[in-house]
Amino acid sequence: MKKTLALILALSMVFMLAACGSAGSSGSTGSSSSTPASPSQSSGGTPSGSAADGEKVICYSFGPMTGGAAWGQFEKGFNQACEELGWEGHYLAPTADNNMSELMNLHETAMTNGANVMLPIVVDHDAMADILINARKQGIVLYGVAASDDNLDGFIGTDTVNLGYNVAEALVKVAGDSPINVVTMQSLLSTQQQNEQVDAFVEHLAELRPDAVVVSREECNSSAQTAQDKLSAVCIAHPETNALVSFDSYAGLGAASYCAAEGIEDDFFVIGIDDAAEILLAIKDGSMDATVAQMWYKMGYEGVMNANKIRNGEEVPFSTDAGTAIVMPEDVDEWAAQVGADLG
pTM of structure:
0.74
The Cα 258–Cα 252 span in angstroms is 10
Q: What is the pLDDT along the chain (344 residues), one digit of tens a residue?
A: 433 433 333 333 333 333 233 323 333 334 454 443 333 333 344 455 666 656 899 999 998 888 877 888 899 999 999 999 999 999 998 888 778 788 888 999 999 999 999 999 887 889 899 999 999 999 999 999 988 899 999 999 999 999 999 999 999 999 999 999 999 999 999 888 899 999 999 999 999 999 999 999 999 999 999 999 999 999 999 999 999 999 999 999 999 999 999 999 999 999 999 998 999 999 999 999 999 999 999 999 999 999 999 999 999 999 999 999 999 999 999 999 988 888 98
DSSP secondary structure letters along 245-270: EESSHHHHHHHHHHHHHHT-TTT-EE
Going by C-beta distance under 8 Å and a sequence separation of 6 or more, which residues neighbour residue 209?
172, 175, 180
The Cα 286–Cα 192 span in angstroms is 32
Q: Give the side-chain half-sphere CA count within 13 A for 287.
A: 20
> Do 178 and 241 touch, CB atoms closer than 8 A?
no
Identify the H or E element spanning 306: helix 296-311
> Do 273 and 295 touch, CB atoms closer than 8 A?
no
